Structure 1
Amino acid sequence: MSPDLVFILTLALRMAITAVFVVSASVITERSGPVIGALVATLPISAGPSYVFLALDHDATFIAEGALASLPINAATIGLALTYVVLAQRHNAFVSSGGAIAVWITLAALTRTVHWTLAGGLIANAVTFAICLPLLRRFRHVRMPLITRRWYDIPLRASLVATLVATVVTLSRWVGPSVSGVIALFPGVFTSMMLILHPRIGGKPTAAVIANGGWGLIGFGIAIAVLQAAAPRFGSAIALSLALATCIGWNLGLWWNGRRKLAR
């Protein structure tokens, strides 16, 4: 079997695995309401597979450098969330999601002009979240209407994130760890939710899901920092496992805290 055919078949398998993860998480999101849905959406169901497949092709140093580039991109994602949430109150899905993606691309491009350190990336996240989370607070509590799935929902979600994985894996051979780290954190899950949910249930309920994801993105940023610090010391496999455990533990903590407040 030729090397090119092996690469194509392997890439197709990776895309299929990622699609299964994303579709499963999206179904849970729709059935659980904006709070639980946001916690599921902020798990690494898009970036996680991208980094796993990068780790199969590259060494731990590559993964650490990619994670360092990803850290400020997490701050750009909360900027995307805030932009969408504000626009979605008055505008249609195309304007709201298009404006949010344009902001993300602009912020991602600006991060490329800075020589980042781990401390610098953490500070950028802390400052950005300190500004954005209070602004998102009043948009979080909206009644979630009943969702009727359409035939193209699953193919659209699967294709969006599977294409992202294919792009990251393919381009990583040429663009290096920094650009790979930026592409890996493109908010494919948030984008698919915007494009699918907004036309069906309206801007405000969809915005509530995105707004509730703000706190989950904090844990995601911490997980990226763990990945960056652990990869050179323990190798990619252990570092990725620690990052995943960080994300899951953080979101479980948010869920438990929310349940405790309701009990009161």
Structure 2
Amino acid sequence: MSRGFLVLVLALALLGGVAVAGWLALQACGLRSTVLTGWLPGACPSAETLAARARLEALRQRQDDLLRQIRASERELTRVRCEAVHDQPPALREAELPPPPPQIDEEAWRAGDIGVLEGCWALDSDYRVVNRQTGQETAFTAWSMCFAAGPQGQATMRSPGGLTCSGSVSGTFDGAGRIIFDEAAALGCSDGSQIFRRVLTCSLAGDGTALCNSNQPEVGGNDTVRLRRSAEGN
């Protein structure tokens, strides 16, 4: 066998090997053979690999764009000159205070003017009574006397529990600069009970109120109470 013939055989064998390798590569790409793709790694990347590479490249471009925007914003900020602006606090409004309580007209009182009674008077503290039969104590938080034009008026007492007692009362000057508030009779109450008649002898206290001695003639009870003018009826 001549040397030329051997060279020809080897060349043909090499060409055949190249053809077989190419055919195998094409089969690996088209058929997705795990054996062939493992034997020829990277010869034909899968569609998933190509898509992942495309996404990665897009993210890199997006990152580059964001970095350029950040640098541009930083350059803009270096040229901005900011001045601090402090909000002015709102003007303080004066507190809306309730109107002062009405005062006793001391001049009319000293002159003995019966018109000083007109309107309503209120007890300046709570008032307690004791039932003489049961010993039960009742606190009254509202006790008022209201007068129209004249010495005749109406006395009313109310407890937090809803008990109401009322009756007639009169007011007169005694000639010594004092006002006498005299209940005509015992006050009748909404529960059928009564509060013994009281007579209040009142003098000016000098602070816009009146200091009174409360006497119950039928039982001999005495107490000291303070009366003030009430906005009710004024």
TM-score under structure 1 normalisation?
0.22
TM-score under structure 2 normalisation?
0.24
Give the helix-richer structure, 1 or 2. 1
Give the strand-richer structure, 1 or 2. 2
> Which entry has the higher C-alpha Rg, 1 or 2?
2
Instruction: Between the two structures, name the one with larger relative contact order (CA 8 Å, sep ≥ 6).
Output: 1
